Structure 1
Amino acid sequence: MALNLNDLVIELDSMLRRLKGEDVELVTVTPPDLGTVKADAGQIEQVLMNLVVNARDAMSNGGRLTIETFNTTVEGGFIRLYSGLRPGDYVVPAVSDTGIGMTQDVQEHMFEPSCITKNVGEGTGLGLSTCYGIVTQSGGHIAVDRSLSAGTAFRIFLPRVDEEPSSAPRRDEEGFWPRGDATILLVEDEPLVRSLSVEVF
């Protein structure tokens, strides 16, 4: 499906504000003229929700969580900065926080299923592995900004396509997706993410 990620972020706003916690300030930056990407809306929502939960858990004493979107062209130095990223035009949703950040060791292995990024009692920490799988399946690339002195910033590079956003049905007036008759097994140990994921799917 051809998506405008600004529309997606705006649709998700109320959900993300419920996820972020009371002591975290949520800032969204959605500039006009954003390019279009081809991806599954529900899966990209899952990625954003996982990143928001990780950011929230990294700011136990409160802080600022920023979600922004922008167009970018990857070439030269960008490729050296983000290993595995191919040259081309991309649309980037980015999620950053002012939390405790990650050690170099965690950054090196954070997308591996066996890498636990959370403390005991805070969930499995498998969200980043899920995010990596979804983004890769969408033909994109997810990376963490290693230049920050504090906090964490994830950038998701999704290939820009020369198409108009799909006019396929979106959420209804109550905020739910159009329903089919299939059955989905949803496994999620974070209660609020589980509840919101049920609404997404």
Structure 2
Amino acid sequence: MAAMRLGTADHFGWAVAVTATGDHRVVDRRRIELIEPGLPVAPIHHAGGPHQLHRSGERLSDTELAALVADVRACVVRAASAAFEELAAVLSAPISSLSLRTWPAGFPADIAVQRRVPYESRADAIMYRQVLADVARNRGWAIHLYDPKTVEAEAARLLGKRADEVLRGPRAMLGLPWAKDHRVALAATIVAA
């Protein structure tokens, strides 16, 4: 059997993951937890950002925030590795690629910069995507980035008359949940082809 493609729609601390065959049949959909209890889902925004309203305590120093982000990243590596291993174990063919929401090229890596506006509101989400990409690359998977605003339209254009059946059909066949995140993740596997 040909290799499968994995598409994701990530959120803070979790992601929707949809695995599809080369002919776009959904073989697995699941929610992947990416953070362990006790760690902040958005360390830069909630622990290091400039907005008092979003913080649960005193603002951390750059060094303290960098250590917290390193702990969160390590947690995401562990969780993503376990989730990908679990997924691979139940599939009948290997996964060849992972599709992720895109992030800006050259996004700053320095914590002191990330904690400032406008970066602090995006740094945590980008961190999750970058870690997922690293874990997938270590498994030998290709990485495809997509624009969540246009990916469904791109997939529909590629699918032509089959678009509605492929993108919305899994809801009838698999039942709930099948929402926008699932369609986006599936569409991302189609445009990655």
TM-score normalised over the length of structure 2: 0.26
Task: Specify which structure has the higher proportion of strand.
Answer: 1
Task: Specify which structure has the higher proportion of helix.
Answer: 2
TM-score normalised over the length of structure 1: 0.26
Larger Rg: 2
Higher RCO (Cα < 8 Å, 6 or more apart): 2
